[in-house]
Chain A
Amino acid sequence: MNSQPVVKKDTKNKIRVEFDRTPLKDRLKAKFGNMAFYSNVVWYLFRFIILLGVSYIVLYPFFTKIAASFMSPDDFIDVTVMLIPKYPSLDQYKEIFIENEYMSAFFNTLALSLISAVLQTFVSCLVGYGLAKFKFKGNALIMGAVILTMVVPHGTVYLSMFMQFRYFDIFKIGEVGIIQLLTGNSLQLTGSFWPMVILSITGLAFKNGLYIFMMRQFFRGVPDELEESAYIDGSGTFRTFLQIIIPLSIPMMITIFLFAFSWQWTDNFYTEMFMSSNRKLILMPDIVGVPKTLETTYAGQELYYSAINNTCGIMIILPLVVLYLFCQKYLVQGIERSGIVG
C-alpha cells in the first residue's frame, strides 16, 4: 500500500497533493462504530425531549387561555370542542376593550410603570454602586437593610404601609409630624401615583432589594482600575460615575428596567392597596372582571366567566409579550451577567 503522499505542481502558484484516503467504510466505522457516539446521540435526544416537554408545560397554559379567549358561550357546553373553537368569536376581546376601558387602563398603567421603572433603575444603580465600590462604616449594615426589605413579606407590612401613605407625614414623633405641624393635616397620598413614586425613589418598591443586590454584584465585577485611571486623569467621583460607569452598565440597567417595568405592569398588590380608593384612575387590576353585556345565565356560565377573566389576563400581558420577544436576551443575560454567581 503506497501511503506516501505525492506532491504535484499544477501551475506556478498551485500544488496538488495526492494520497490514499482511508476508505469510506473505515472512516464511517471509526465515526459511528463505537459506543461513545451512540451514547452521545442518546444523551442528546434525551436532553432535547426533556427540554421540549418542560417547554410544553410552560407554554401549555397560554395555549389554552388563548384558545378559550376566542370561544363563544356555545363552545363551553359543547363536549366535542377541545382547543379549537367551533363558533369562534371576538366578543370577549371586544367587550373587555370597550366596556372595561382597556385603553385608559393601558395608558395609565404605562405611565405608572414607566415612571416607577425609570426611577427604580436609576436608584438601584446609584445605591448598588455605592455599596459595591465604597468602603465606609455601615456599608455591611446597609446591605443588611437592603436584604431585610427583600425578606419581609408584603402581608407583614400591608396595614402599616397603607396607613403610612393614607396619613403621610415625615419625622413622625408620636402622632404628629412636620407636615401636620405646617399645614394642620397629614397628606393623603393614596389614590395617586405618589406612593409608588416615593417608594421607587427610595428603593423600597416591589423587589427593589433584588435590583440593588444585582447591581451591587455587577459593579463588584467591574475592575477598580477603570475608576482609578479616571481619578488619576482628574475626574471626580460623580463625573466618573456619569461618564464611565453609567455607559458601562447600560445592558445591566436595561435588565433591571425590564424587570421593574414588567413586574410593575402586572403588580396588583401595591396598585390595589394605593389606588383602589380612586375610582377614576383605571389601572390594569380594574379591568379584570366580566363585562355587563357578556353576563349570562346558562350551564357553562362559570366556565365562561373564567375564560373571560383569563382573556383579561391575556390582554394585560399582551404588551409584555411583545416587549419580552424583543428584549428577552437582556433579561436572560442580565441574570447571568449580574454575577449573583460568585
Chain B
Amino acid sequence: MDNTKVNSVSSPAPKRRKKAASLDKRKAHAGWVFVAPFLIGFVLIYLPIIFDSIKFSFHEIDPVRTGGYTLTWVGLNNYQEALFVNPDYVKTLISGIQQLILEVPSIVIFSLFIAVLLNDKIAGRAAFRAILFVPVILSTGLIESIDASNNLSEFMDAEAGIEDGTGASAAAQLSAAIDLEALFANMKVGTGLVEYVANAVDGISDIVNRSGVQILIFLAGLQSISPAIYESCRMDGATTWETFWKITFPMISPMILVNAFYTIIDAFTSESNAVMKLIDSVYSQPDGNVLSSAMAWMYFLIVILILCAVGGIMSAFVFYQRRD
C-alpha cells in the first residue's frame, strides 16, 4: 500500500530519463516494503492512539449503553484538576523526578563498576553474567506487581520469622551490619553525600535488579576497546588506576550516554514507578480515566525535557574515537 504511494511520488524522475528505475530507486522501494508492517501499524493504529489520548485529555468521556462513547469538550479542566485539585499528583511528580535524578547515576555507576569487575578473567564469569541478567527476564510485569504488593516485608521485621520475598531485607541486614552513616560521618564528608550513599546502599537490591541490561551494554563496550592500547599504556608505566581514567573511561563514555538514556526510559516507564502507580490508580477511579491521560501527558513531556537535558549536557563530555 505504502509502496504504491511512494512509487507515484517518485515516478517523475525515471520518466524524464526514460529509463528503468535506478538501482538506488529500486532499493529504496524495497526498503519501503520492509518497513511497511511497522509503518502501516504506526499510521493506522499508533498515531490514532496517540491522537485519541491527547484528545481524551481535553474531554469528559461517557460510555453509551448501545456501544460507543460520547465526548464533551472541557478544555484544560483535566490538566487543572491534575495540577491543582488532585492532592497527590504534584507531590508524587516532584518526588518521582527527584528519585529518578538520584537513581540514574547510581545505576549507571554501579553497572559500570560491575562490568569492569567482570571484564577480566575470573572463575565463573559466565555464571555471574547469567545471574546478573536474571532479573531482566524474571522480575518484570506480573512478578513486579506481586512484589509491589508484597506485605511479607512489613511482617518480617516484626516477626523476624522468615524473610520477605523482595530482597530489601537482605540489603537492610547488610547496611545495618556496616553502619555506613557512622563510617562516613567520621570521614568528614558532607551529610548530603552521606545520605545519598546510605540510600543507595539501602536500595542496592533495587539497583542490582535494574542494571542487568546496562551491565551487558558496558561489558560489550569494554570488550571492544583494543587490548593494544592497554599494552602500550603498561609499557609506558601507567598504573591500573590511571589507565582506567585515561583510557577506559573516555572510550566507554558513549556507552554511558546510551545507558543513561536506557535507564531513564526504563525507570519512568516501569510499573513500580510512583508516578505510574498514581496514574494507574487514578485510571481505575470512576471518571478518572481522562484525568489519568492528562497526568500521563504532562509526565511524558517532563521526561522528554529531562532526556533532552541529559543528552545535551552529556554529549559535550562524550569522547568518540574515529575508527575509520
Residues on A lying within 8 angstroms of B by beta carbon are 44, 47-48, 50-51, 54-62, 64-65, 67-68, 71, 75-79, 81-83, 123, 126-127, 129-131, 133-137, 139, 142, 145-146, 149-161, 163-164, 167, 170-172, 175, 185-186, 198-199, 201-204, 212, 237-238, 241, 262-263, 266-269, 284-285, 288, 302-303, 306-307, 309-310, 312-313, 316-317, 320-321, 324, 328, 331-332, 335-337, 339-342
CB nearest neighbor in B for A85: B162
Residue in A56, A68, A130, A267 whose beta carbon sits within 8 Å of that of B170 in the complex = A56
CA distance A156 to B44 in the complex (A): 18
- The answer to whether B165 touches A61, judged by C-beta atoms less than 8 angstroms apart, is yes
State which of B117, B217, B293 has its C-beta within 8 Å of the C-beta of A51.
Answer: B117
CB contacts under 8 Å to A, within B208-243, are: 208-209, 213, 216-217, 219-221, 223-224
Contact residues in A for B300 (Cβ distance below 8 Å): 151-153, 156
Q: A136-B32, A284-B142 are in contact. Are A307 and B152 (CB under 8 A)?
A: yes
Which of B52, B129, B307 has a CB less than 8 Å from the CB of A164? B52
Decide yes or no: A59 and B134 within 8 Å by CB, A64-B162, A306-B151 being known contacts. yes
- A283 closest partner in B (C-beta): B142
B162 in contact with A68 (CB, 8 Å): yes
Provide the residues of chain A in CB contact with B220, threshold 8 Å.
335-337, 339-341
In the complex, chain B residues whose CB is within 8 Å of the CB of A57: 167, 170-171, 204-205, 208
Q: Mark B30-52, 1 if CB is under 8 A from A, else 0.
A: 11111101111110111011101
Max count, chain B CB within 10 A of own CB: residue among A62, A202, A241? A202
Among A152, A154, A172, A237, max chain B CB count under 10 A is at A152
Determine which of B53, B161, B254 lies in contact with A160 in the assembled complex, contact meaning CB atoms within 8 Å.
B53
The dominant DSSP class at the B interface is: helix
Find out whether the CB atom of A202 lies under 8 angstroms from the CB atom of B221: no
Across the interface, which residues of A come within 8 angstroms of B138, CB to CB? 62, 262, 266, 317, 320-321, 324
Cβ of B137 within 8 Å of any chain A Cβ, yes or no, is: yes
Q: Determine the distance from Cα of A271 to Cα of B6 in the docked complex, in whole angstroms.
A: 37
In whole Å, how far is A148's beta carbon from the nearest beta carbon of chain B?
8
State whether A170 touches B152 (Cβ < 8 A): no
**What B residues does A266 contact at CB under 8 A?**
138, 140-143
Q: Are A313 and B134 in contact (CB under 8 A)?
A: no
Contact flag A335-B145 (CB < 8 Å), given A136-B31, A170-B44, A204-B42: no
A199 surroundings in chain B (CB, below 8 A):
41, 45
Task: Give chain A nearest CB distance to B13 CB in angstroms.
Answer: 12
With A75-B162, A303-B155 as contacts: A155 and B167 at CB distance below 8 Å: no
Contact indicator B155/A164 (Cβ below 8 Å): no
CA distance A133 to B295 in the complex (A): 39
CB < 8 Å neighbour of B128 from A51, A123, A204 = A51
Q: Which 9 A-B pairs have the closest CB atoms?
A: A202-B41, A130-B34, A134-B31, A160-B52, A136-B28, A156-B296, A266-B141, A336-B220, A160-B53
- CB within 8 Å of A: which of B56-92? 56, 61, 67-69
A153 near B53 with CB under 8 A, answer no
For B162, list chain A residues within 8 Å (CB): 64, 67-68, 71, 75-76, 81-83
Q: Using Cβ atoms and an 8 Å threshold, which residues of chain B touch A136? A: 6, 27-29, 31-32
Among candidates B34, B164, B258, B283, residue contacting A134 with C-beta atoms closer than 8 Å: B34
Cβ of B142 and Cβ of A313 under 8 Å apart? yes
- A156/B53 in contact, CB under 8 A: yes
Q: Report B-chain residues with C-beta under 8 Å of the C-beta of A126.
A: 34-35, 37
Residue in B41, B140, B165 whose beta carbon sits within 8 Å of that of A204 in the complex = B41
Q: A51-B128, A75-B161, A154-B271 are in contact. List 15 more A-B contacts (CB 8 A).
A: A57-B170, A57-B208, A64-B165, A79-B161, A81-B162, A126-B37, A139-B31, A154-B276, A156-B293, A167-B68, A198-B41, A202-B40, A266-B143, A320-B138, A342-B224
What is the number of residues of chain B that contact chain A, defined by CB distance less than 8 Å? 106
Q: Is the interface of A mostly helix, strand, loop or mixed?
A: helix
Known: A266-B141, A285-B142, A324-B137. A55 touches B152 (CB 8 A): no
Known: A157-B49, A159-B56. A203 touches B37 (CB 8 A): yes
Q: A187 → chain B, closest Cβ, in Å? A: 11
Nearest B residue to A334 via CB reads B216
Q: Specify the chain B residue showing the minimal Cβ separation from A150.
A: B265
Quote the shortest CB–CB distance from A35 to chain B (angstroms): 12
Contact with A along B251-292 (1 / 0, CB 8 A): 000110010000001001101000010011001000001101
Which chain B positions have C-beta within 8 A of A198? Answer: 41, 45
Contact at A313–B132, with CB atoms within 8 Å?
A: no
State whether the Cβ of B149 lies closer than 8 Å to any Cβ in chain A: yes
A302 to B280, CA, bound (A): 24
Would you give the shortest CB distance from A88 to chain B, in whole angstroms? 13
A316 to chain B, nearest CB (A): 6
B30 → A minimal CB distance (Å): 4
Chain B residue contacts of A202, Cβ below 8 A: 37-38, 40-42, 44-46
Closest to B258 in A: A340
Q: In the complex, which residues of chain B have a beta carbon less than 8 angstroms from the beta carbon of A204?
A: 38, 41-42, 45-46
Query: 14 A-B residue contacts at CB 8 Å?
Result: A61-B205, A68-B152, A83-B163, A134-B28, A134-B30, A136-B6, A142-B42, A151-B300, A155-B295, A156-B53, A158-B283, A175-B68, A237-B30, A263-B141
